[in-house]
Amino acid sequence: MIVPIVAAGESDACTQAEAIAATDADMVEWRADGMGTASQVGLVALALRLSAIVAGKPLVFTWRTADEGGLAATDAAYSALTRAIIDARAAALVDVQIRHPGAGRLIAAAKAAGVPVIGSWHDVGGTPPAPAIVAALADAEAAGADVAKVAVTARTPADVASLLAATRERFAVARIPLMTMAMGAVGLPSRLDGHRYGSQATFASVGPSSAPGQPSLDDLRRAWRDEARLDP
């Protein structure tokens, strides 16, 4: 279970980190694009501080660009900032958008620094056909990512079914862990049941959510407990 920090300022980010540290979350994602125009030096320092606060729960550094649903107005700082986090080893893992022009260089830098990479792709406009989702997961692995992540936007239950079918297909041959999810209220089943198809982690919130349709940590844990009681 991965819980996001989504904050516009350092104090709020640290408060959220403290709240998450007290939960049974497995990992923490810092959506640093929520910080807007904060300086690179300041963001690296804050990443180190957040890592210390959530000690024992690996921190994922993510700067999501606007075209993939990010909160920043521009992605001009994307490559330089992610590289600075890698060089400082300020986070346990970094998220690299595999379709960003700088992805190859960032993944190579992370490999050299011993920082694991989540290779991600987010379709904020809809859900592509299952073969395209399978291809995106395969592309992340081929690019050298340690984890492949695809998030789509579900408009109908058929979109969720397509994502889950693609996850199952890729899981059968993938050599790295997968994370898949359908964003939006319609996509909730993908977060509840994705593990049955090969998705090996999902996101839930303690404070602000980082994507549409993201459940709270308490709600997701409750749903899983209820599901476990119903399983034969």
Enzyme catalytic residues: 122, 149
Look at residue 153 and give its three-state secondary structure. strand
Q: Which has the closest alpha carbon to 94: 44, 37, 36? A: 44
Integer Cα distance of 61 and 39 in angstroms:
15
Integer Cα distance of 145 and 116 in angstroms:
7
Integer Cα distance of 54 and 91 in angstroms:
11
Residues facing 96 on adjacent strands: 119
Integer Cα distance of 38 and 13 in angstroms:
13
210: left (phi over 0), alpha (psi -120 to 50) or beta: alpha
21: left (phi over 0), alpha (psi -120 to 50) or beta: alpha
Integer Cα distance of 120 and 118 in angstroms:
6
Instruction: Show Cβ contacts of residue 120 under 8 Å, excluding neighbours closer than 6 positions.
Output: 68, 95, 96, 97, 98, 140, 149, 150, 151
